[in-house]
Structure 1
Amino acid sequence: MIYSPTEKTIETTRLILRLFTQADAQEVSVLCNNYAIYKSTLSLPYPYTLECALSWISTHQQNFEENRSYEFAITDKQSGQLYGAIGLSNQSQHQRGEIAYWIGEPYWGNGYGTEAAQAMIEFAFQEKQYHRIYARYFHSNPASGKIMEKCGMRYEGTLKDHIYKNGTFEDIVFYGLLNPSH
């Protein structure tokens, strides 16, 4: 993982994680206007319109600069193709943050989520000096949990029927990881 603070980018073997721009909004709206992604995310609206994407992207720069959260577009290092998004919250009073991500369905199964999540963990621990990171997923979306496991995160517990979505209750599964240098 190579982080460039001036460019606000993270480079991995195959990916560039960079800030979203308004020019990404159309592709974001296409990728997110997908029921399969909606049903496994906590706060993504459905249908997902261009206005949703523009509104979401409009908050990123200020959140980054004020160290509230860090939202990155997951893009191909060579072509620039947008694959998804990954974010890290800053809960500085506790020296921790939550990682959250989505990958557009056409790009599932290629390891992009895992590669981006590994880079985000390194960013959290090395650049931001977090003591702990965590992530959570709907029990009905085990693929998200596999990403967490591949990144070395450990299962910490399940909150039963914690979320009510689409007329049903969902269990939320928590994973976490402590900074090994702390």
Structure 2
Amino acid sequence: MSELEKGKSSVITLLRSIMQYGFVLGIFWFIKYIFFIIFDLWDHMWYVYNLLNIGTLLLYYVLVKRYRDNALGGKLGYLQCIIFSTLLFFFASLLESIIMYIHIGIINPNFVSQHGRGLSLQIAELFYQMFTSPTHTINVAKPFKLASNAEYIINNIYTSSLYGFFLSLIYGIFVRRKKLLKM
């Protein structure tokens, strides 16, 4: 097999694995986001949502280990881990964006504006306490504009990809290769 064919084969294996494992992580995030939606109705769901955030870290570790063992035969390079993880989180966030669109487009159309307005009021209050003059507060808080629904979803996809990148910097050290015990 030539070098070009090996390269194509490894890219195809990478993309196939990213899509398979990204689907699993995306379904997990889909379910996790349902608890976020229910949180608007019942405050105790916030605890379940945060527990599922911790579950994301565990599921991510399992998925990277499976990719290393099943697709790569036990050896995973540091750069491979970074690429795999970043794209894994990207594809998973694409699936999560479906439920986000349903939430902010159909279920609660005022969600983004309510949370954005609340954040800008908190920032204005912070600046008011810092400067004790309302004119400074108004001038500093004016540039903040509320995001649209599309910007909110795109920001989530971008943020999730960044999480994947930064987590891979840490996880990549621990899952790089499997040590084989020879007896």
TM-score normalised to structure 1 length: 0.27
- Which is strand-richer, 1 or 2? 1
Q: Between the two structures, name the one with larger relative contact order (CA 8 Å, sep ≥ 6).
A: 2
Higher CA-based Rg: 2
- Which is helix-richer, 1 or 2? 2
TM-score normalised to structure 2 length: 0.27
